[in-house]
Amino acid sequence: MGRNLISIDDVADSELLLLTSPESRTSPPPAMIRGTLAFLFEQASLRTMSSFAAAGTRIGLAPIAITTKGGAFRDQCDLYDEIDQLSLTSDCVVVRAGTELDRSKLLNCAAPIVNAGDSSNEHPTQTILDITVMRSLGLFGKTVAIVGNLRDHRTAHSLAKGLGRLPVKLRLVAPDGMAMPDRYVPNHAEVVIANTIAEVDNQIRDADFVYLPPVRYWNAPDLDFMGAYDFDLARAESVMRPSAHILHPFPRFAELDRSVDGSKYDAYRMQTAMGPAVRERILRLMLALPAMAVAA
Ligand code: CP
């Protein structure tokens, strides 16, 4: 029976620090296994699936993607039945679900189950990646503003919970109606409603990290925010600290203009680039393989 990673809460504080350590030795330990890493994705993915596939390959797991949708019979299959069946033939099952995962239905799976984003609930491995990037840029003691649709965006939910366990100042900035649900908000977070460009600007002036979950994603594709949540290089230069960093879970929409790409604010290319290495750490933890050595 495997260990599951459904929420960022499933990672102990000590494990969170180890997994997100900015230091790692250059050559990975030789411990390799031969097996398969199965992907059961009910929603599209580019970054999560490709980085887990790369990570699995590094430790000897062949990635296999499973399609369970697309037929009148198949569409009625029980997701938990299918995950359980897949766990019998795979060393680890990575799941992206269209509904919030029920951990109580995954307890008897034969292999570890990893949540790769369940509807608008959580995305714990994205948070481990995001915090690793922030720590490599200097996170502790700094101010992080998560800015956008905090009601629906799973990356923001897991990130708020993860950052709530670390020595950072956390600010949650959303427009009316899109505030983060209480169950994801850590005790010491500052919660702000901002609807205009000036109101949003006031919340990011002192931030060291600005994380942008898209306002137009999920349940709000047609809402007009009058530019309050759209950032280009000119706005970043006029409002943000010169040393600040922008992160974004991707895919992007109008909230992140391409003029920011490659600028001093751009930490989101680093986010994507570090995906395979961070997810290798996660797989090693889930499969109880020797961890990458990290500095104390
Ligand atoms: N960040 C993220 O989850 O991206 P994908 O949807 O491409 O996996």
pLDDT exceeds 70 at position 26: no
Atom of ligand 1 nearest to the CA of 96: 8
| Nearest by Cα to 233 from 217, 251, 224, 246 | 246
Is residue 48 within 6 Å of ligand 1 at its C-beta?
Answer: yes
pLDDT exceeds 70 at position 293: no
pTM over 0.85, yes/no: yes
Is residue 126 within 6 Å of ligand 1 at its C-beta?
Answer: yes
Is residue 117 within 6 Å of ligand 1 at its C-beta?
Answer: yes
Cα–Cα distance measured from residue 205 to residue 213, given in angstroms and rounded to the nearest whole number? 18
Residue 219 pLDDT: 60
Atom of ligand 1 nearest to the CA of 46: 7
Sheet arrangement for strand 35-41: 61-66, 35-41, 92-97, 113-118
Cα–Cα distance measured from residue 37 to residue 190, given in angstroms and rounded to the nearest whole number? 39
Mutate to test the pocket of ligand 1, among 39, 40, 43, 45 (most ligand atoms within 8 A of CB): 45
pLDDT exceeds 60 at position 155: yes
pLDDT exceeds 80 at position 2: no
Distance between Cα 251 and ligand 1 center (Å): 7
Non-local CB neighbours of 149 within 8 Å, separated by 6+ positions: 156, 174, 178, 213, 214, 215, 216, 217, 218, 220
Pair 21, 135: CB distance under 8 Å: yes
3: its two tokens:
């260990």
- Closest C-alpha residue for ligand 1 atom 4: 47
Pair 285, 291: CB distance under 8 Å: yes
Q: What does each C-alpha distance from 223 to 176, 199, 218 come to in angstroms?
A: 12, 18, 11
187-234: per-residue pLDDT in tens? 999 999 999 999 999 999 999 999 999 887 766 656 778 899 999 999
- Closest C-alpha residue for ligand 1 atom 6: 45
Residue 196 pLDDT: 95
Cα–Cα distance measured from residue 85 to residue 186, given in angstroms and rounded to the nearest whole number? 36
Mutate to test the pocket of ligand 1, among 47, 121, 271 (most ligand atoms within 8 A of CB): 47
- What is the pLDDT confidence band of residue 295, given thresholds at 50, 70 and 90? very low
Is the dihedral angle over the CA atoms 215, 217, 220, 221 positive or is it negative? positive
Is residue 250 within 6 Å of ligand 1 at its C-beta?
Answer: yes
Residue ranges of domains in the chain, CATH in brackets: 8-121+275-286 (3.40.50.1370), 124-271 (3.40.50.1370)
- What is the pLDDT confidence band of residue 23, given thresholds at 50, 70 and 90? confident
Can you tell me whether residue 66 is helix, strand or coil? strand
Is residue 47 within 6 Å of ligand 1 at its C-beta?
Answer: yes
- What is the pLDDT confidence band of residue 33, given thresholds at 50, 70 and 90? confident
Cα–Cα distance measured from residue 253 to residue 108, given in angstroms and rounded to the nearest whole number? 39
Number of neighbouring beta carbons within 10 Å of residue 75: 9
CA angle 192, 178, 186 (to 5 degrees): 55
Is residue 28 within 6 Å of ligand 1 at its C-beta?
Answer: no
Residue ranges of alpha helices (H) inside the chain are 13-19, 47-58, 79-87, 124-136, 154-163, 197-204, 233-239, 268-273, 275-286
Mutate to test the pocket of ligand 1, among 42, 43, 46, 269 (most ligand atoms within 8 A of CB): 46
More confident of the two residues 146 and 1: 146
Which residues, listed in sequence order, are joined to residue 256 by a DSSP beta bridge?
A: 231
Mutate to test the pocket of ligand 1, among 157, 248, 250, 278 (most ligand atoms within 8 A of CB): 250
What is the percentage of the chain residues whose pLDDT exceeds 70? 91
- Closest C-alpha residue for ligand 1 atom 1: 249
Residue 296 pLDDT: 36
